[in-house]
Amino acid sequence: MEHHFLSVEDFHSLIQQWSGRRIKITKHEMDDVDQIVMDLQHITYDRNTRRIDDYVPMHSLQLNGDGRIETLATMSTQPLPSPNYEIPLQDNTMYEFDGEKFFITTERGVYKIELT
Q: How many domains does the chain have?
A: 1
Can you tell me the distance from the alpha carbon of 58 to that of 79, in angstroms, rounded to the nearest whole number?
Answer: 26
Domain that holds residue 32: 4-115
| Residues 50-84: tens digit of each pLDDT | 545 555 556 899 999 999 998 777 778 899 999 99
User: In this structure, are residues 39 and 66 in contact, taking their beta carbons and an 8 Å threshold?
Assistant: yes
Whole-model pTM: value is: 0.86
Output the CA–CA distances (angstroms, integers) from residue 115 to 1, 56, 74, in the order listed: 16, 28, 24
CATH number, residue 26: 2.70.180
**DSSP 8-state symbol, 72:** T
- Lowest-confidence region among 12-16, 46-50, 83-87: 46-50
Can you tell me the distance from the alpha carbon of 9 to that of 34, in angstroms, rounded to the nearest whole number?
Answer: 27
